[in-house]
Amino acid sequence: MDYFVGLDVSLRSVAVCVIDADGKHVFERSVDCEIEDIAACLRDVPQGRYRIGFESVAMSQHLYFGLQCAGFDVVCMEARQVNAALSAMRNKTDKTDARGIAQVLRSGWFSKVFIKSREAHAYRALLSSRKAVQKKCIDLANEVRGLFRIFDLRLPSRVDQGSFDERVRPVIEADPDLSRALLPLLDARAMLYKTYRELDRRVKQAASHDAICLRFMTIPGMGADRGLHLSRHRR
C-alpha cells in the first residue's frame, strides 16, 4: 500500500504524519531532526511504499540526501505553495502542519524544488564568506573616512582597498589622539582584508577548475565570483 509522509521541519525537531492513499491518518509523532530518528520512526508504520515530503527550508539539503540514502522516495515542495495550502487550516501547530503537508503530498498539487548538491552549497558558502568579509572591510574604511572629517582630514575620493592601509596609517600615526582611537580600528581592517584576500584566492582557484565558470568568465565584466555563482546555480 502507498503511504504519504509529511514532515514539518524545525531546527531541532520534526513533526511526522503518515497518511494512506485514501487520506486516512495512520501515524504521527515528533522526533529529533536527525535522519536516523526519522527512519526509525517510520519502521513502526505498516509495510508499503513511502513517499516523504517537506517544504523547502534551511535543512532541506541535509534531509533530502540523507533520507534518499536511507532508501526513501523524497520530495521537497515549494514553500509558498505549501504555506498557501496550510493557511486555510484553523489551528496552526507543528502536528497539524505535518498533516497538511502529507495531504498536499498525496494530492500532487505542488511544485518540486530542485535540491543543489553538497558541493554547490559548499561553493555558495565560500562566496558568501568572501562577500561578508569584503563588506566589513568597506564598512571599516568608510568609518575611518567619516572620523577623518571631524579632524579636517580628507582622503582622495578613490583609494584602492589594497592600498588603503598604507595611505591612512602614516596619517594616523602622526597624531597621538588619532592613534589612540583609530589604530585598533585600522588593525582590525587590515586583518579582515588579509582574510578577504585568502578567500578571494580560493574563489579564483575554484573558478579556474570549473569549465562552465571559465566559459562564463569570457563575458566582458564577468569576474570569478559571479561566474562561479552562476555555474554552481545550475547544479
Q: What is the mean predicted confidence (pLDDT) over 83-87?
A: 84
pLDDT digits (tens, 9 = 90+) for 150-186: 888 888 778 888 889 988 998 888 888 888 889 999 9
Answer yes or no: do 63 and 102 share one domain.
yes
Cα(84)–Cα(72) distance, rounded to whole angstroms?
Answer: 26
Answer yes or no: do 135 and 220 share one domain.
yes
Least confidently predicted of 6-15, 28-37, 68-77, 81-90: 81-90
Answer yes or no: do 137 and 83 share one domain.
no
Give, to the nearest 10 degrees, the angle between helix 176-208 and helix 118-150.
160
Q: Is the pLDDT of residue 234 over 80?
A: no
Contacts of 231 (CB under 8 A, 6+ apart): 210, 212, 213, 216
Answer yes or no: do 94 and 129 share one domain.
no
Last residue of a domain, one of 107, 133, 166: 107
- Residue 75: give the domain boundaries: 2-107
Answer yes or no: do 27 and 103 share one domain.
yes
Answer yes or no: do 12 and 71 share one domain.
yes
Q: Is the pLDDT of residue 235 over 60?
A: no
Name the phi and psi angles at 191, rounded to 5: -65, -40
User: Distances in Å between the alpha carbon of 102 and those of 16, 18, 61, 81, 143?
Assistant: 9, 7, 19, 13, 52
Answer yes or no: do 128 and 229 share one domain.
yes
Assigned domain for 113 exists: no
Last residue of a domain, one of 73, 107, 141: 107
H or E element: which one contains 179? helix 176-208
Last residue of a domain, one of 68, 87, 107: 107
How many domains is the chain partitioned into structurally? 2
Assigned domain for 112 exists: no
Answer yes or no: do 229 and 136 share one domain.
yes
Is the model's pTM score more than 0.75? no
Answer yes or no: do 129 and 205 share one domain.
yes
Assigned domain for 95 exists: yes
Q: What is the pLDDT of residue 1?
A: 67
How many other CB atoms are there within 10 angstroms of residue 209's CB atom? 8
Cα(94)–Cα(7) distance, rounded to whole angstroms?
Answer: 9
Phi-psi region of 199 (alpha: psi -120 to 50; beta: other; left: phi over 0): alpha
Cell 575554484, residue located: 206
Q: What percent of the chain has a predicted confidence (pLDDT) above 90?
A: 35
pLDDT digits (tens, 9 = 90+) for 117-153: 888 888 888 999 999 999 999 999 999 988 888 888 8
Answer yes or no: do 122 and 223 share one domain.
yes
Answer yes or no: are the C-beta atoms of 59 and 11 closer than 8 Å.
yes
Q: Over the chain, what is the mean pLDDT?
A: 87
Answer yes or no: do 61 and 90 share one domain.
yes
Q: What is the pLDDT of residue 110?
A: 87
C-alpha cell at 117: 548538491
Q: What single letter denotes the amino acid at residue 76? A: C
Answer yes or no: do 101 and 162 share one domain.
no
Q: What CATH number did the domain enclosing 82 receive? A: 3.30.420.40
Q: What letters, b where the CB count within 10 A reaches 16 and e where it falls short, cover 155-166?
A: eeeeeeeeebbe
Which segment, 26-40, 158-172, 188-202, is predicted with the most confidence on average?
188-202
Q: Is the pLDDT of residue 233 over 60?
A: no
